[in-house]
């Protein structure tokens, strides 16, 4: 229900108040969720909808299964098959949900309000803006593509982030082939049109390059026989290797395979300018090189959305690059605002900040030293609160508690294996170097959304029954265990029905069998039976009839 309220500026602003139509009963707390991507949707699907009055705001009224976007670029999978309307997801859950198709452009944490703008309708004020207030705000707005201010990228390159991007890329690929086939072009112009450049050798860029190569060799070469020998795919990466976040074996395999496929992998090249007809890249040895191209896809990384940057300034996070939360996904220095997924990063507390406190808690007998037993007893709690300690203990240089003690007192022969506070500090002095930021993946966003929903579901119960590992003085007892990420593995589809899989425990598998694992995992992960059926039938259609090349 829209009611009108006077805005600070004197004008009238529409006010979205979803509670005015439910007069009886105690007022439920208002939860406002920004974003219907991986983080937001998973949060909503796991939230107990009876407990809250929930409003969802997103400029897209659907959830998109992003891991299949590269497949959409070449028509292996249809755009319809990778999206699910958010209203259908909410309707299935029942309960108090409202959805507004709009964009938040300002968060006002002092007044606990957000400012939104709809691009579809306008109110009588003429600008389509409205205010929503919240008791709890969940920010799950993802990130934007980052051009690193490289001139010409915005105007001349495609991004691959949204479903529309994938559709545009698909049309553009077909346009390039049709243009290159026109009768009045000379060889040079044909070659230019058929030069496909991908900037960024991360998982998305690599998967798109592989997908495009398959599309060209399996489908388009038959339809455009006169120009197919002119096609060139270049993958440009500023670092020394592609897929640097994967195991070395996968990187090597991918580089070799692309080499054999004729994909020109240019590592150590940095793109500095994109003009309408040519891309300029820089290499310490080669200097500036300008190459003509037909189509370019920019996939070099992500950045923070401008309204989040503004929000960060308001709450004293101006000097940070990414919005910081604590380990409970609460935005730092800001009450009742939570953030999940690509728009935020967990600011992991350092062991060294709390070392004396940890020592005090661990030293149960107040002897002033820690025995092996005392350390053992507290280690699990330390792992929960400081995951870097677990990484450190499991790292190559460490071999259990014995090594930890040795690092502390530097003496292997010593009879007494107890640690003083100084020795304890020394033992753990390198631990904080193991702090790792979680990757910007759907896996992380979804786990965070699920975790946060669980916290919201238990909020009342947890007030009375706090849990939590080591209690740090002044911090209070935590109501919940901190968020813990479980890495389930990662895929890199490399084309030709071959996929590289890196599973926990550094288990690497590359080839056709992993491709089948990929198919089955991605079919399973679909958000509904409807999209699952659509995706599987798209794959089947592609196997039998090939990809569609109209457009």
Interface characters, 426-445, with ligand FAD (x: CB under 6 A)? --------------xxxx-x
d(CA 466, CA 473): 15
Q: Which of residues 118-157 bind Mg ion (CB under 5 A)?
A: 140
| Among the listed residues 40, 200, 205, 482, the single contact to Mg ion using CB under 5 A | 40
Per-residue contact flags (x/-) with Mg ion for residues 84 to 123, judged by CB under 5 A:
----------------------------------------
Q: Looking at residues 41 to 70 of the shown chain, list those that interact with Mg ion (rule: CB under 5 A).
A: 66
Task: Give 341: exposed, middle or buried? Use CB within 10 Å, 0-12, 13-18, 19+.
Answer: buried
Q: Which of 70, 201, 294, 482 binds ligand FAD (CB under 6 A)?
A: 70
Query: Using the rule CB under 6 A, is 526 a contact of ligand FAD?
Result: no
Please report, to the nearest 10 degrees, the dihedral formed by the alpha carbons of residues 256, 261, 267, 273 taken in order: -170
* 338 near Mg ion, judged by CB under 5 A: no
Q: Which is nearer to ligand FAD, 206 or 362 (CB)?
A: 206
Q: Which two tokens stand for residue 32?
A: 């406002």
At residue 241's C-alpha, the angle toward residues 238 and 242, to 5°, is 90
Among 132, 227, 265, 343, binds ligand FAD (CB under 6 A): 343
State in angstroms the smallest separation of the CB of 341 from ligand FAD. 2
Question: SS3 string of 89-140?
Answer: HHHHHCCCEEEEECEEEEEECCCCEEEEECCCCCCCCCCCEEEEECCEEEEC
Residue carrying the six token digits 């990130």: 143
Residue 495 binding target from Mg ion, ligand FAD, none, CB below 5 to 8 Å by type: none
Q: In angstroms, what is the minimal distance from the CB of 399 to ligand FAD? A: 33
Query: Residue 151 or residue 504: which is nearer to ligand FAD going by CB?
Result: 504
Out of 161, 232, 349, 542, name the contact with ligand FAD by CB under 6 A.
161
Does position 493 bind Mg ion by CB under 5 A? no
String of contacts with Mg ion for each residue 199-228, x by CB under 5 A = ------------------------------
Cβ contact 200:300 at 8 Å: yes
Nearer to ligand FAD, 25 or 121 (CB): 121
464/50 Cα distance (integer angstroms): 20
- Among ligand FAD, Mg ion, none, residue 204 binds (CB under 5-8 Å by kind): ligand FAD
Task: Quote the tokens at residue 350.
Answer: 């350092």
**Spatial contact of 322 and 332, defined as CB atoms under 8 Å apart:** no
Residue 48: alpha-carbon gap to chain centroid: 24
Sole binder of ligand FAD in the list 142, 201, 202, 482 (CB under 6 A): 142
The yes or no reply on residue 104 touching ligand FAD (CB under 6 A) is yes
Q: Is 38 in the site for ligand FAD (CB under 6 A)?
A: yes
351 binds, among Mg ion, ligand FAD, none (CB under 5 to 8 A by kind): none
Q: Which residue has the tokens 């300002």?
A: 106
Among 13, 49, 59, 303, binds ligand FAD (CB under 6 A): 59
Q: Are 546 and 219 in contact (CB under 8 A)?
A: yes
Residue pair 453/42 in contact by the 8 Å Cβ criterion: yes
Q: Which does 294 bind (CB under 5 to 8 A by kind): Mg ion, ligand FAD, none?
A: none
Rounded (10°) angle between helices 38-46 and 442-457: 30
What does the block give as tokens for 256?
Answer: 């070799």
CA–CA separation, 346 and 330 (whole Å): 9
Q: Which does 365 bind (CB under 5 to 8 A by kind): ligand FAD, Mg ion, none?
A: Mg ion
Q: H-helix or E-strand containing 12?
A: strand 12-16
Q: How many CB atoms lie within 10 A of CB 505?
A: 8
Which lies closer to ligand FAD via its Cβ, residue 141 or residue 393?
A: 141
Q: Between 355-362 and 372-385, two packed helices, what is the crossing angle to 10 degrees?
A: 130
| Site for ligand FAD, residues 199 to 228, rule: CB under 6 A | 204
Residue 51: name its binding partner from Mg ion, ligand FAD, none (Cβ under 5 to 8 Å by kind). Answer: none
Residue 59, binding choice from Mg ion, ligand FAD, none, Cβ under 5 to 8 Å by partner class: ligand FAD
Residue found by looking up tokens 């288990």 in the block = 507
Q: Which does 103 bind (CB under 5 to 8 A by kind): Mg ion, ligand FAD, none?
A: ligand FAD
Asked if residue 530 lies in contact with residue 84, where contact means CB atoms within 8 angstroms, the answer is yes
List of residues contacting Mg ion (CB under 5 A): 35, 37-40, 66, 140, 345, 363, 365, 367
List of residues contacting ligand FAD (CB under 6 A): 34-40, 57-60, 66-67, 69-70, 103-104, 140-142, 160-161, 204, 305, 307, 341-343, 440-443, 445
């Amino acid at each position: 229900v829209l009611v009108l309220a006077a805005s600070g500026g004197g004008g009238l602003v529409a006010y979205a108040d979803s509670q005015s139509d439910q007069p009886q009963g105690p007022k439920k707390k208002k939860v406002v969720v920004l974003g219907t991507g991986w983080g937001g949707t998973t949060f909503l699907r796991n939230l107990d909808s009876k407990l809250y009055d929930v409003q969802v705001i997103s400029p897209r009224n659907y959830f998109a299964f992003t891991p299949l976007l590269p497949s959409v670029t070449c028509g292996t999978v249809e755009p319809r098959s990778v999206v699910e309307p958010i209203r259908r997801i909410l309707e299935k859950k029942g309960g108090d949900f409202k959805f507004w198709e709009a964009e938040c452009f300002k968060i006002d944490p002092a007044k606990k309000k957000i400012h939104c703008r709809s691009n579809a309708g306008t109110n009588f004020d003429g600008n389509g803006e409205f205010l929503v207030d919240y008791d709890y705000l969940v920010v799950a707005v993802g990130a934007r593509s980052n051009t690193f201010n490289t001139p010409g990228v915005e105007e001349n390159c495609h991004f691959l982030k949204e479903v529309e991007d994938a559709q545009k890329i698909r049309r553009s690929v077909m346009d390039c082939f049709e243009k290159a086939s026109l009768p009045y072009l000379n060889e040079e112009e044909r070659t230019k049109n058929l030069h496909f450049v991908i900037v960024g050798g991360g998982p998305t860029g690599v998967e798109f390059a592989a997908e495009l190569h398959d599309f060209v060799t399996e489908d388009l070469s038959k339809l455009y026989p006169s120009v197919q020998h002119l096609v060139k795919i270049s993958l440009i990466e500023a670092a020394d290797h592609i897929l640097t976040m994967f195991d070395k074996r996968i990187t090597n395999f991918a580089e070799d395979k692309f080499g054999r496929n004729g994909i020109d992998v240019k590592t150590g090249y940095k793109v500095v300018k994109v003009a309408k007809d040519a891309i300029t890249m820089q290499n310490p040895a080669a200097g500036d090189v300008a190459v003509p191209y037909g189509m370019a896809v920019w996939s070099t990384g992500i950045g923070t959305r401008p309204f989040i940057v503004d929000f960060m300034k308001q709450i004293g996070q101006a000097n940070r690059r990414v919005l910081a939360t604590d380990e409970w996904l609460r935005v730092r220095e800001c009450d009742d605002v939570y953030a999940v997924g690509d728009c935020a990063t967990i600011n992991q507390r350092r062991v060294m900040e709390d070392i004396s406190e940890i020592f005090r808690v661990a030293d149960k007998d107040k002897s002033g030293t820690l025995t092996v037993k005392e350390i053992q007893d507290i280690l699990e709690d330390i792992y929960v609160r400081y995951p870097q300690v677990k990484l450190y203990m499991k790292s190559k240089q460490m071999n259990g508690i014995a090594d930890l003690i040795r690092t502390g007192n530097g003496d292997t022969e010593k009879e007494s294996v107890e640690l003083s506070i100084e020795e304890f500090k020394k033992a753990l002095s390198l631990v904080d170097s193991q702090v790792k930021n979680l990757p910007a993946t759907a896996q992380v966003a979804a786990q965070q959304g699920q975790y946060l929903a669980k916290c919201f579901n238990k909020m009342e119960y947890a007030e009375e029954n706090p849990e939590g590992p080591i209690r740090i003085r002044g911090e209070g007892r935590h109501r919940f265990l901190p968020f813990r990420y479980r890495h389930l593995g990662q895929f890199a589809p490399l084309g030709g029905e071959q996929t590289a899989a890196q599973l926990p425990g550094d288990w690497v598998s590359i080839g056709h069998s992993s491709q089948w694992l990929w198919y089955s995992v991605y079919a399973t992960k679909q958000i509904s039976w409807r999209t699952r059926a659509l995706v599987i039938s798209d794959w089947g259609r592609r196997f039998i009839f090939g990809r569609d090349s109209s457009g």
